[in-house]
Structures are given as structure tokens and as C-alpha cells.
Chains A and B, each alone.
Chain A
Amino acid sequence: MVTEMEEVFHCCLCKKLMSPSSEIVECSLCGKREKADYVCPDGHYICEGCRLASPDRLVKKVCKATKEIDPMKIAILLMKHPAIPMHGSEHHYLVSCALLAALRNLGKFKIDDSAFDKAISRGKRVLFGSCGLWGVCGAAVGVGIAVSVATNATMMSDEERSLSMQAASEALSEIAKIGGPRCCKASTFAAIETAARFFERKFGIKFSSLENPRPCYFKLLNDECLGDKCPYFR
């Protein structure tokens, strides 16, 4: 007995019904041009490489390729991909990479491709569930990592080290206000909003006006959604 495969596909990025295509189209995530199989009415297409990518490869690939200067847009785009689960430690490095990619595109700091490797490698060390177990949400750590990578901070640094910790602690404080059970999407939104304010205040860097993540695109996918208690629900 073979269970029939779903032959109707909805776009991961906008949920619209996709139609068969054989045109050469640009991948909406990494920009690669290839012959498409399914494209949505808004022209979204995800290339075969991105569809098969692991979360860390996907994050790196997209952040390397993007020209976007809004970290929230980059983060939301990444989180819509099926490789990024509803909750998980993938969000820890996703936050740092989205921030670093936007900073690079703004021409701020010296951020090359190795910055994403560093951010991913550091973010992966923060365990899933660290929010409840350590009292430190990985998305907040992701903000600290972004500042650290951007400023080349180490434990021996002076101001850079302090800035990294301040950024992480401000993000953590905002995430803590949301309450629980944890939602990695809400934490990511809060982390990026806090980071944007932090970069403007401390470095004079203004991201483009951040995409408003409200109402949350992911709320129906979250079994433990906080509903009206969450500032991103509506």
C-alpha cells in the first residue's frame, strides 16, 4: 500500500497555491537561477539546493546572498523555510546571521562570509531549551554573538566585550517579558527589535524600518502559542 503523495503544493513564503513551471526563475532565498518546477503567483521559487539544505547551510547560504538591509525580513524569510522548525536551537544562530547580513549590506563593520561561520558555530553551542534551563534564551545570546562578531570582541576586549553583553542582556530582558511556554519565533522577533534599537543607540546605525512581524505568520503552527498574551500575536 502506497500512501499518495500530496501533489498540491503551497508556497512556503506566502502560502499561496503553486503552479507547475519550467521557466528559469531566481530562488527567492539564495538568488540562484535555475529551471523551476513550481512557482507561486507572487513569483516565489525555492531552488533545489535550498530545499535540501540543512538549517545551518540554509542560514549561511541565504545570509551570504541577501541584499536586504532589514534583519527582521531576513529572519522571517528564513523561518518560513521547512528546514527551520517551529522551535529549536536553529533560531540562536539565525538571529545573529540575520543581523550580521543586514549590517554588512548597510556597509557597517567589516563583515565577510566567515562572520556567518563564526556566528553559526557559536550559536550552535547554545542548547535547545537553554531559556528554561539556564535562564538564558539562545535568541538573546544570538544578539550578543552578532555584536561580538561585528566588533571582533573576545573575552580580553574592553568596550566590545561590554557591548556584546549589554546587547545580549537587553534582548534577554525583553524576551523574558513575553512569558512562556517558550516561543522561538516571538523570541527571535523580540531579539531583533531590541538589537535594532541597540545598534542605533550605541553605534548610530539605523536599519531600514523593521518589518512588523505582527500578526505572527507562525501562530497557527505553534501548538503552545501564547495567543493574546504574546505581543506578536495580533
Chain B
Amino acid sequence: MNLAVNEAIFRSRRVGLTRDTLRLWQGPNSVVLGTSGSYRDDVNHEACRKYDIEIVRAVSVSCEVLYSDMGSLNFTVAVDAAPLKHLIKNYQPVLSEYQILNEGIAKGLQRFGVDLKADPSVVYVDNRRISKALPLWFYDYMLFQGTLQINTDLDVYDEVIRTKRYPERKDVSTSLGRKLGKNIEVDEVKKALVQGFEERLGVRFEEQGLIEDEQKLIEKLYRVKYSLSKWNVKAREPFLIGMGKTTVEVFVAYPPTSMCRKLIELVRDVVSDLQDEVKVMIWMRGRGVYQHGPYPEMSSALRTAEKQSIIPVIIINGELKFRESVPSKEDLRKALLDAL
């Protein structure tokens, strides 16, 4: 559920319902794979069973793997990253944004008297990693989900992530508690992190709960994505637009042929009483990606249809449902209701 919360916060930031957000949270023992992480190869499943650790997947451009337990503090930053580029000298796209956020973490933890360093991929002390994150981009918007090891059980950490692909070594990571030789109160770290981010980003945070739209979306994201092995194991996710509306993409010729027009009319007819829950997007071949505004959201199925010239098609939540023919009203209605 926590990863659904993160995605909901990110989507809400993207559509402008909320402002830049920092979320600090703790959750059950878990291994978190990035979108392209391998469920089979990147996790020691035997160790996960032994310690009752769940394996979940976060939306991310990274194939890194995180481990988090009740001794860890997780952070989520959902931010319009465009202004960040002014906060660093020698700006390097993407890397500088990661660097700045990792510097925020390092700055916060330096209050404990530890000489932490940050680079674009990790925060470390004495060359041992103490924090890493899984980033995700949507145009200028960035989601930065990561884990900070405070009193984390590093032996378990090492065991669950140790695979052929990730031959974790005990001398690679550490925790704040181990470095200081004592258990650290998580609440103290939370305060320090907030201050660290505020200083590095030049902002002031206000405490706020989730808005209603986010809460609704969390429930939906959990139901259609994060609770399913289709996502957690196979990394296949439904295509949801904006705040998670069920999306019907109709790909047609330019100008639409008679068959394309019939298809469009049929879709309009079928969704007429579902307008609040369904978004229909009509894409015309050859008209470019900006047919629906400056931040296009297209499913990979639509890109495939365009690349392979499968036309016309109806794609529901990223799944190609009807191709090169006009389905019956009943079939389309059923497919749509199944997707809601």
C-alpha cells in the first residue's frame, strides 16, 4: 500500500493538485524492486521466506533493489524538478537532480556528527552506502523513493539481496546506528531529514495529510496494480492517465476512415454514462505526440500499434482490446466495465 501512496502523491503533483511533497514513512520488512528489476534474479527468495519479507515493486527508471525494515526510514520526494537545476553548479541533467536530493539527506544526517557524502546514486559514509533511491521521471516531474538505513538489520539486508547479479558484500553498506555505535530514534532522523532538505532546497515544508483525490487513487492503484503479482512479479502495469482514470485510447487514420469513424462513435456511445470514470483519447496516425497537450501520456500498446501500423485499434488501460475491426457494443461495454 505504501508504494501506491507514493505513486498517488506523484500523480497528484504532476496534475497540479498538490505542491512538491516530502513523505517520510516506515513500513513492513520488504524488498523493493525497480520497474526493470528481476523478480527471479535480483532477490534471494529463500531468505525472504525465512525472514517473512515481502517483495514489492516500485515505479522507477532504475533496476536497483532496496531493502527496508522497521529500522529503516523511507523517504519519498515528489517534485517539479525544473527549479532544482538552479541549485547546483555545473548542472548535469538528471544526475544533478539526484545529487541535490542526496545532498539534502547528507546535510540532514550531518547533524548527528557523521561526515556523510552524497553522489548522484547514493549517500555514503566511509565509502559505505547508507541510503539509495529509485527515481522516476514524468517530463520535468520527479519521484524519488528511497530508503535510509538507520538501525537496519544489515545481516538480513545482505542476505536477501545477495544474488548472482547483486553480490552484496558486508563492507558495502552500513547504517547510521552502526556508524554511531548506538540505536538512533527514528523521529530524530525525520526531523533532521526535513531540515536537511529544507536547507539544500531552500524551501519550508508544511505538514499536510493526503487529499481526497489521492486517497481515492491509492485505493485504485492498490487494487489494480500494487496488490497484483502481474505488477510485483512480471512488472506489467495497467496504463492509467493523470489521477488514475480508466483510459480508452482509440488509434485511427488521418483523416479517419469510415471504419475509424464507426469505432469512435461506438466508443463515445459506450462511455456516455461513464464520463466521470473514463477518459477517451483519440489519437490520429502521423499527428505526433502532442495531439493532447504538451505532456503526452501514451501507453506502450499505443506506441506498438503505431509502430506496427495496427489501425484502427481500441486500447483500454494499456491493453490492446480490439484491432482492425469494429466490435459489438456489448463486447466493448464488457471490456470497459472489466477495466473499471
Contact = CB atoms under 8 A, between A and B. Distances in A.
Whether chain B is bound by chain A comes out as yes
B309 A83 contact: yes
Contacts of A53: 309
B258 interface: yes
A106 B312 CA distance: 37
Interface stretch (B21-29, B153-161, B163-171, B278-286): B278-286
Given A2-B275, A6-B284, A54-B309, A82 B254 contact: yes
B255 A1 contact: no
A51 B257 contact: yes
A83 B291 CA distance: 16
Chain A binding site: helix, strand, loop or mixed by DSSP?
Answer: loop
A12 B286 contact: yes
Contacts of A1: 245, 275-276, 278-280
Interface in B256-285: 256-259, 264, 267-268, 271, 275-276, 278-282, 284-285
Contacts of A22: none
Contacts of B284: 5-6, 82
A3 B258 contact: no
B280 A3 contact: yes
Given A51-B254, A52-B257, A82 B278 contact: no
A55 interface: yes
A48 B254 CA distance: 10
A37 interface: yes
B84 interface: no
Contacts of B288: 221
Interface size on B, as a range, is 20 to 34
Nearest to A56: B309
Interface in A1-46: 1-3, 5-6, 9, 12, 18, 37-38
Interface in B212-270: 245, 253-259, 264, 267-268
Contacts of B285: 82-83
Interface string B306-331: 00110110000000000000000000
B19 interface: no
B257 A5 contact: no
B254 A12 contact: yes
A2 B309 contact: no
A164 B292 CA distance: 46
A82 B306 CA distance: 10
A132 to B, nearest CB: 20
Nearest to B267: A2
B89 interface: no
A18 B255 contact: yes
Interface in B41-95: none
A104 interface: no
B57 to A, nearest CB: 29
Nearest to B284: A6
B204 interface: no
B258 A37 contact: yes
A60 interface: no
A52 B311 CA distance: 6
Nearest to B308: A54
A54 B288 CA distance: 17
B323 to A, nearest CB: 12
A52 B291 CA distance: 19
B258 A5 contact: no
B182 interface: no
Contacts of A37: 255, 257-258
A85 B271 CA distance: 32
B223 to A, nearest CB: 21
B287 interface: yes
Nearest to B287: A82
B255 A55 contact: no
B255 A2 contact: no
Given A37-B255, A37-B258, A81-B286, A5 B309 contact: no
22 contacts: A1-B280, A2-B267, A2-B280, A3-B292, A5-B284, A6-B287, A9-B254, A12-B286, A18-B255, A37-B255, A37-B258, A48-B253, A48-B257, A48-B258, A51-B253, A52-B257, A52-B311, A54-B308, A82-B285, A83-B286, A83-B309, A85-B286
5 closest residue pairs by CB, A with B? A82-B286, A54-B309, A51-B253, A48-B257, A9-B255
Given A2-B267, A3-B292, 7 more contacts: A2-B268, A2-B279, A2-B280, A6-B291, A37-B257, A82-B254, A83-B309
Interface of A: 1-3, 5-6, 9, 12, 18, 37-38, 48, 51-55, 81-83, 85, 221
